[in-house]
Structure 1
Amino acid sequence: MDTTYDIVIVGGGPIGLACGLAAQKAGLRYVILEKGCLVNSLYNYPLNMTFFSTSERLEIGGIPFMSINAKPTRPEALEYYRRVATSKALQVRLFEEVLSIAPDGDLYQVKTPRHIYRGRHVVIATGFYDIPNLMNVPGEDLPKVRHYYKDPHFYAMQKVIVVGAHNSAVDAALETWRKGADVTMVVRESGIGDRVKYWVRPDIENRIKEGSIKAYFHSVIKAIHPDTVDISTPEGEVTVDNDYVIAMTGYQPNFAFLEKAGITLSADSKRYPAYNPDTMETNMPRIYLAGVVCGGMDTHVWFIENSREHAEKIVEHITLK
């Protein structure tokens, strides 16, 4: 199938959906392409995750997000974004991964395993949750090493090492400990991260202080073995018995995909993509970025609440042209 759209939106997360809503409102012909399920990144969040933001700050398209909690939960968010997509009849193609974006005359050709789409404009709203930051240590490829954390029950009665000290790591440590896991945290920094949710911080600090959860600060994993892990600490290297390693070391955008599309990345370690913050247009004419993908390796800069406005900027720029 060969179809032409005003906008082809790559990514069916909250910001991709927001772009679809803005395009729909402006009367533009659009399609949203998502490689997984609807809001795939949120679906892969931990089952019991609570957002830092309030529900109104997660709203898109001016559609109210009602929650029974002060801070909405993952299930509530999934339900909200699903209802937005269905009630507004958004044109979303799920489980259809974009393989390439290439110029085609005055258009762009967007290729998936199923179809070829042609778009006058392309919006990339792919987030950063698909590629984990690796520790690059021996044994990281063992089956017991997990870079995604879902359900704490799986780790009941197991010896678990959690790597990291930010929200994902703290949640994993506390939840698995409460399910009966023997939990050890390995933290590169001197303490728990500054951005940890304020209602969670006292809990993890008290569990560490009382010794319920062991924590090695200023420490890194040196090697992972089937039944043990070697940890480099300020007091020297220690070896601990271990069943599972939950490496909450963060994630990064698909930089190879951006570069393949012709988008320039900064030469430093941050790998910021080139775009105009007023219009969100990249160095490639008529290709735009939206959402957390804009931040390069600074994945803590953009969130739903401060990047949902990208949708309006992009559609306004397109319609004014």
Structure 2
Amino acid sequence: MTNDVYDVLIIGGGPIGLACGLEAKKAKLSYVILEKGCLVNSLYHYPANMTFFSTSERLEIGNVPFVSNNAKPTRAEALEYYRRVTTSFELNIRLFEKVTGVERQNGWFAVTSIKEQYKARHIIIATGFFDIPYKLKVPGEELAKVTHYYQDPHFYAFQDVVVVGAQNSAVDAALETWRKGARVTMIIRQEEVGKRVKYWVRPDIINRIKEGSIKAYFSSSITAIREREVDIATPDGPITLPNDWIIAMTGYEPNLAFLESVGVELSLDESRRPILHGKTQESSVSGIYLAGVICGGMDTHSLFIENSRIHAKRIISDVKRRRNEVK
């Protein structure tokens, strides 16, 4: 265990975790950021050619300008931006260091990672929601041909590809792999392509489906997966398709089990939102704060980088107030 007692320990090195680190540094608080993967790990796992819905200024943190070559920044530009912010401010971040436990001690918290144990007076949990995919829960889902993460379309050239879902990630995967020569079929539970699909992309996928370039089964679902085939339940009855790969863009959920393991209380309704006190972002556990999309619980589409950046300022302001009261 390190002997230092940090004022703030931040769990999660995504944009909001970095924003918390910037505010802590500005307030001259001692801090450390622990990230279980690479820097801005969730963004790294976005599709390689992804374009954000938001404009670059809405993705900025710490009042550092984000200059993009396009009206909508790309994944590559975002990775470069957050890396440069981290470097420029010399943020104290430890990568590939997953937190495995948090315990309250006498006046501080003991935080255990896979590499070290830390002491901290306050904890900020900014873990996002991109790590636990919703499973299909069908036979064969464990096969190597099934992925819940899509990155580059070239891999799927000239293959029979099934894309599950109808929101942004699924539509991007379907269009990009089709343009690289894949034979693409979309399996969509709803009756139409998702309403939240980027407005400049939605007409494209609708037209590709209408002309038959991309096959789509609406109000349908996968029932079984085999090495060379996939079974689908459709309104017209079951069908079997030849298949090489399945890209299951079924969405992701936050790690609420981790919140519960450290004592954070969740709402009893289906949203399972963490209970937060006022505008301080403090959870039901004194000294543990939440920042970013994790605050939305299962409602993962209510919070984004642009409307949760303010969490960093709220939290650090409250930490400073507490520190001054102790003095």
The bucket for the TM-score relative to the shorter chain is over 0.9
Q: Which residue of 2 is the match for residue 197 of structure 1?
A: 198
1:113 aligns to 2:114 (yes or no): yes
The residue matched to 1:161 in structure 2 has which SS?
strand
Give the aligned residue type for 2:39: L
Q: CA deviation at 1:272?
A: 1.6
How far apart in 2 are the matches of 1:247 and 1:268?
Answer: 27
Q: CA deviation at 1:319?
A: 1.1
Q: CA deviation at 1:116?
A: 1.0
Q: Which residue of 2 is the match for residue 153 of structure 1?
A: 154
Q: CA deviation at 1:310?
A: 0.5
1:31 aligns to 2:44 (yes or no): no
1:104-155, Cα deviation, whole Å (9 max, x unpaired):
1111111112211111100000111111011111111111110000110000
How far apart in 1 are the matches of 2:231 and 2:271?
Answer: 29
Off by >6 Å, runs of 4+ in structure 1: none
1:124-273 alignment to 2 at 5 Å?
Answer: 124-273=125-274
Contiguous gaps of at least 5 residues in structure 2? 323-327
The residue matched to 2:240 in structure 1 has which SS?
strand
TM-score scaled by structure 2? 0.97
How far apart in 1 are the matches of 2:54 and 2:44?
Answer: 17
Q: CA deviation at 1:271?
A: 2.1
How far apart in 1 are the matches of 2:163 and 2:290?
Answer: 33
* Cα RMSD after superposing both structures: 0.9
TM-score scaled by structure 1? 0.98
How far apart in 1 are the matches of 2:277 and 2:301?
Answer: 20
The residue matched to 1:15 in structure 2 has which SS?
helix
Q: Which residue of 1 is the match for residue 69 of structure 2?
A: 68
Q: CA deviation at 1:243?
A: 0.5
Give the aligned residue type for 1:256: A
Q: CA deviation at 1:269?
A: 3.4
Mean Cα deviation higher: 275-284 or 178-187: 275-284
Mean Cα deviation higher: 224-233 or 166-175: 224-233
How far apart in 1 are the matches of 2:248 and 2:278?
Answer: 33
The residue matched to 1:99 in structure 2 has which SS?
strand
How far apart in 1 are the matches of 2:131 and 2:103?
Answer: 22
How far apart in 2 are the matches of 1:97 and 1:9?
Answer: 12
Q: Which residue of 2 is the match for residue 285 of structure 1?
A: 286
Q: CA deviation at 1:295?
A: 1.2
1:98 aligns to 2:99 (yes or no): yes
Aligned length: 321
Give the aligned residue type for 2:229: T
Give the aligned residue type for 1:243: D
Q: CA deviation at 1:225?
A: 1.2
Give the aligned residue type for 1:234: P
How far apart in 2 are the matches of 1:119 and 1:278?
Answer: 22
The residue matched to 1:320 in structure 2 has which SS?
helix
Q: CA deviation at 1:277?
A: 4.7
How far apart in 2 are the matches of 1:103 and 1:134?
Answer: 34
Q: CA deviation at 1:69?
A: 0.4
Give the aligned residue type for 2:72: K
How far apart in 1 are the matches of 2:277 and 2:198?
Answer: 32
How far apart in 1 are the matches of 2:145 and 2:165?
Answer: 17
How far apart in 2 are the matches of 1:135 and 1:186?
Answer: 12
Q: Which residue of 2 is the match for residue 21 of structure 1?
A: 22
Give the aligned residue type for 2:61: I
The residue matched to 2:99 in structure 1 has which SS?
coil
How far apart in 1 are the matches of 2:69 and 2:308?
Answer: 24
**Could you say if the C-alpha distance between residues 277 and 71 of structure 1 is closer, same or farther in structure 2, counting changes exceeding 3 Å?**
farther
Give the aligned residue type for 2:319: I
1:212-264, Cα deviation, whole Å (9 max, x unpaired):
00000111111111111111111111111111110000001112211111112
Mean Cα deviation higher: 262-271 or 296-305: 262-271
Q: CA deviation at 1:296?
A: 1.3
Q: CA deviation at 1:186?
A: 0.4
Identity of aligned residues (%): 64
How far apart in 2 are the matches of 1:135 and 1:270?
Answer: 21
Q: CA deviation at 1:293?
A: 0.8
The residue matched to 1:256 in structure 2 has which SS?
helix
Q: Which residue of 2 is the match for residue 85 of structure 1?
A: 86
